[in-house]
Structures are given as structure tokens and as C-alpha cells.
Chain A
Amino acid sequence: MIHEQSQILSKAGKEPGFTVPEGYFEGLTSTIMSRLPEVEITDVEAKPTWWMRVRPYVYLAAMFAGVWCMMTLFNHLNSPMTNLQRVAEIAGGISDEHNADEFVLSSGVDAYDIMTYEDSVYGYMIDSIAGN
């Protein structure tokens, strides 16, 4: 330590030379205790901590977040099929000519859906030929 290298501090030592009246420390506690004001102390078990105070709000926020997540997921699962998915479904349904009528009746596809499907197929064919 630095002061161990300091000759002056080594010579002076750790006693600053201050003294106190005899018996000073003996009566100190009672002197100070007699001067203490009355204070209201909240029982630690009854006093709410910071977490206890904010906990209901955190739980409420978590509940709303959960409901929002569930609604988002539900909407996502029930979203209408994309055009491509619809075309693929129709293609699968009418590809077997024995079951095509049954598919049309049960799936609710109408003439417009089938026309759209056919347009897509012709478009694909034309693109393919043009590409060749």
C-alpha cells in the first residue's frame, strides 16, 4: 500500500490523537435512544413490495397479449385460400372424371371457379409454348 511506503505516515501511525471524555461511549446509546422521535413503522409483511404493486397490471397485460395472439392465430387459420390454392383444389377435384360431379356438388365450386381454373391452365400452356 502507498502509505506503507510513506515514511511520514509510518512515523505518524494510525492514532490521530483525538480523545473523548471518559465513559463517553457507555452512555451514548441511551442518550441517543432518548432523543429518537416516534416514527410509524409499517410491518414488512403488510407493506406491499414494488412487484406486489405492479403484479395485477402485468397479469392483465399478459392476458390481453394472450387473447390477441389467439385471435391472430385463429384469423390466420381461417383466412380465405389464395387463388393458387383454390386452383390446385379444383384441379385435384375434377381430375378424376368419375368423382368430378360429386366434387362440384360437395365443395361448392361454381362455374366461375372452374372457368378461372381453365384460364389458368390455358395461360400456363400458352406460356409454356411461347417459352419453347
Chain B
Amino acid sequence: MRAVYDEATIVEQLHHPDSARDAFSRVIEHYSSQLYWHIRRLVIDHDDANDVLQNTFIKAWSSIDNFRGDAQLMTWLYKIATNESLTFLNKKKARLGLSLDEEGTEALVADLESDRWFNGDELQVRLQQAIATLPEKQRIVFNMRYYDEMKYEAMSEILGTSVGALKASYHHAVKKIEAFFEQDD
């Protein structure tokens, strides 16, 4: 049976050549689900989310020597995951000849109902379409706040934005989503 996950111990083990690999497998085990859903809500497609998640951990492992434990592991991993997701999305949009802004993202959720790894109802499809119309930053903030229920202070560390600005972003996002539904009705 494995010991209880203790972040301070794990971080210490990550900096010793003998224990680093095992400690990192504990990190993957602990954070993979949380990070997967964060990535999935940004990139929409399961296979894409799986690729981005794996790349996130590979990137984190490759630069583990630079992680000094000044920030929490979660903050550090979320930062990498968010950057990887956005880079991936831009590459995908460029590959498909889509616009790099919100229009491109809207196109990515257009066929959501036919996705075999989506079983949401009509309202959930429309909500995803509404979220796709948001500017990139608002979309990330909305997802992290609404679905992950993350505190603004934690989001502020991950995104490098003030708490006030994040609250404003979330507020605008909700208003735009409501407007999207009103326009549709």
C-alpha cells in the first residue's frame, strides 16, 4: 500500500536522483484527473486532451530540476497545462485553416454532438458553444472558476493576473453566456 500523498515530501523526493522518478509517478497519479478535465474543457476533444496531458507531464518532468518548490506543484502544473493547451489549440486551428480567435474555437465545438466521448444534453451542447464564443482569457477563467471551483487567489498565481481582473473576467463571461442564450431564444 502506498503512503498518503504529502506534497512537501514529494517535492523533496523530486530533487533526489534516487527517488525523483517514483515521486513523479505519485504526482501524475495525484494530478492527472484534475489536469485532464482542465485541458479537456479547453481543447474539447478527448484524444487531443490526452495528448496535451501527456505532453504537460513530459514537459514538467523535463524541467523538474528547475522547480524549486517556491510555488505549489498544482500551480506549476496548471500553468504548463494551460500553456500547452493554448499552444495546441492554435496549432490545430492553423492546421485546419481556422481563424485563431474565438471563431476558430466555435468551429471546434460545432460537431460536439457527434463526438463519441460527449454525452451531454442539448443545454450542455449550447453551453459549450456559448463558452467557445468567449475570448481566450475569459474562457479559461470561466472554466477554472465555474467547473473547477478554483479560488481567485489560486487562479491569480496560475494566470499571473490580479484577483480583481479575474473577477471582472468571470463576470463578463457569465454575462456573455447569458446573452448568447437570450440571442438564441
Contacts and interface: CB of A to CB of B under 8 A. Distances in A.
A32 B58 contact: yes
Interface residues of A, number: 33
A16 B120 contact: yes
B78 interface: no
Interface residues of B, number: 45
Contact of A9 (B21, B121, B174): B174
Question: Which of A19, A32, A42 has most B Cβ within 10 Å?
Answer: A32
A20 B33 CA distance: 11
Contacts of A25: 32-33, 36
A18 B124 CA distance: 10
B21 A36 contact: yes
A107 to B, nearest CB: 68
Contact of B178 (A6, A20, A31): A6
Nearest to B63: A39
A41 B64 contact: yes
A2 B171 contact: yes
A29 interface: yes
A35 interface: yes
Contacts of B121: 17
Interface string A24-66: 1100110111011101111110010000000000000000000
Given A8-B177, A18-B41, A47-B15, 12 more contacts: A8-B178, A9-B127, A12-B123, A16-B147, A17-B119, A17-B120, A18-B40, A39-B61, A39-B62, A41-B16, A41-B65, A43-B17
